[in-house]
């Protein structure tokens, strides 16, 4: 697999010609199962084939149970300069319910160890977990904050098909997901992190000034990105690409010097919809001027018209020509954005 990843990186080098790579992100699976020298090998292939900015952000996603002190020390000596640790919760009951492989003790010990060797660390937390009351959620937030971490990502629990959680809910062993609980806990999160200096720069992401994830920011601002590996997605501003999901077929294609990727060219309407969806989730919002310049005045008028009812409900507001979500609207922003989508133009 590592050889296949290196081959894809090399074969696709022409796609970013003339562009500098600002961020490298090992994620979307469990990259912490890689040996550190394998991570370094892949970074070296990128450095050989692409032009990088000085000191690019290089993030590795990791499970707490993979982060032994030896592993962390080796990572700290590598080009990796940012860790994203999948904590999810500091409560054992929550971790068992979500079928996580690590324990609450490992969650704490991984952060304590990581902070001795890395300055730039993010953790993931999950809210809306069945059985987790607001006091427990408050405790989770306080625990994460106590480590002095510069970045926290937090997501509502979703129930995926064919998972143990889905089965437990179907068999009524645990309660259904409570949307009101999730919304309430989201607002608790925003308020509490805001009080201690975190900026909610994107719906699910909170960073101290100077520590916004460059990878996240690039995605939400619509910059080009190259996705390497099975299931990885790519975007160049006009085309979207996605790789084969099957590991064996992915490796076989690359062994034959074939790229395992399918592309689609986005229509003007697709690109407008993506800009609205991503922009509205951020503190940078959706620029009416940009909409009119890049997509046309018809799109600008449509955006203005569709936004009116949400402005009246105090879910959106205009700051000059920038459309933004209010505090009340942040949790509902995906549904709101879908109502601002254009569906009848090419």
Q: Using a cut of 0.85, tell me whether the model's pTM lies above it.
A: yes
Least confident piece of the model among 119-133, 154-168, 223-237, 245-259: 154-168
Q: Is the pLDDT of residue 176 over 90?
A: no
Please give the class, per CATH, of domain 268-340.
mainly alpha
How far apart are the C-alpha atoms of 105 and 241, rounded to whole Å? Answer: 40
Which stretches of 95-238 are assigned E, i.e. beta strand?
121-127, 151-156, 199-202, 205-207, 233-235
For the chain, counts of helices (H) and of strands (E): 14, 13
What is the H or E stretch that residue 87 is in?
strand 82-88
- Over the stretch 226-277, which tens digit does the pLDDT of each residue have? 999 999 999 998 999 999 999 999 999 999 999 999 999 999 999 999 999 9
Do 20-220 and 268-340 fold alike per CATH? Answer: no
pLDDT in tens, 86-97: 999 999 999 988
For residues 199 and 205, give the distance between their C-alpha atoms in angstroms, rounded to a whole number.
Answer: 8
The span from the CA of 71 to the CA of 83, in Å, is 12
Task: Supply the pLDDT for residue 88.
Answer: 96
Task: Report domain extents, the chain.
Answer: 20-220, 268-340
Q: At what angle do helices 247-255 and 2-11 cross, to 10 degrees?
A: 50
Asked whether the predicted pLDDT for residue 65 surpasses 80, the reply is yes
Answer whether CATH 3.80.10.10 is correct for domain 20-220.
Answer: no
In this predicted structure, what is the pLDDT of residue 295? 95
Q: Is the separation of the CB atoms in 139 and 185 below 8 Å?
A: no
């Amino acid at each position: 697999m590592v050889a296949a990843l290196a081959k894809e990186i090399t074969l696709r080098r022409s796609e970013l010609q003339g562009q500098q790579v600002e961020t490298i992100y090992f994620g979307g699976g469990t990259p912490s199962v890689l040996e550190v020298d394998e991570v370094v090998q892949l970074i070296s292939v990128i450095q050989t084939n692409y032009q990088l900015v000085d000191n690019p952000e290089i993030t590795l996603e990791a499970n707490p149970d993979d982060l032994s002190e030896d592993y962390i020390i080796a990572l700290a000596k590598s080009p990796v300069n940012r860790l994203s640790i999948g904590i999810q919760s500091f409560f054992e009951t929550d971790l068992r319910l979500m079928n996580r492989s690590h324990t609450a003790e490992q969650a704490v010990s991984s952060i304590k160890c990581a902070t001795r060797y890395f300055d730039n660390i993010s953790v993931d937390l999950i809210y809306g977990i069945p059985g987790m009351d607001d006091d427990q959620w408050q405790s989770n937030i306080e625990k994460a904050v106590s480590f002095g971490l510069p970045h926290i990502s937090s997501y509502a629990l979703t129930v995926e098909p064919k998972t143990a959680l889905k089965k437990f809910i179907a068999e009524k062993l645990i309660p259904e997901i409570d949307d009101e609980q999730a919304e309430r806990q989201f607002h608790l999160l925003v308020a509490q992190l805001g009080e201690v200096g975190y900026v909610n720069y994107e719906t699910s992401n909170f960073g101290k000034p100077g520590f916004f994830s460059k990878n996240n920011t690039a995605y939400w601002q619509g910059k080009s990105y190259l996705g390497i590996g099975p299931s990885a997605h790519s975007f160049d501003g006009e085309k979207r690409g996605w790789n084969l999901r099957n590991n064996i077929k992915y490796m076989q294609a690359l062994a034959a010097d074939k790229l395992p990727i399918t592309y689609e060219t986005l229509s003007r309407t697709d690109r407008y919809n993506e800009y609205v969806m991503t922009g509205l989730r951020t503190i940078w919002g959706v620029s009416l001027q940009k909409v009119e310049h890049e997509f046309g005045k018809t799109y600008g008028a449509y955006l203005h018209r569709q936004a009116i009812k949400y402005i009246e409900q105090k879910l959106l507001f205009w700051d000059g020509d920038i459309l933004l979500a209010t505090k009340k609207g942040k949790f509902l922003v995906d549904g709101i954005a879908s109502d601002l989508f254009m569906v009848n133009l090419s």
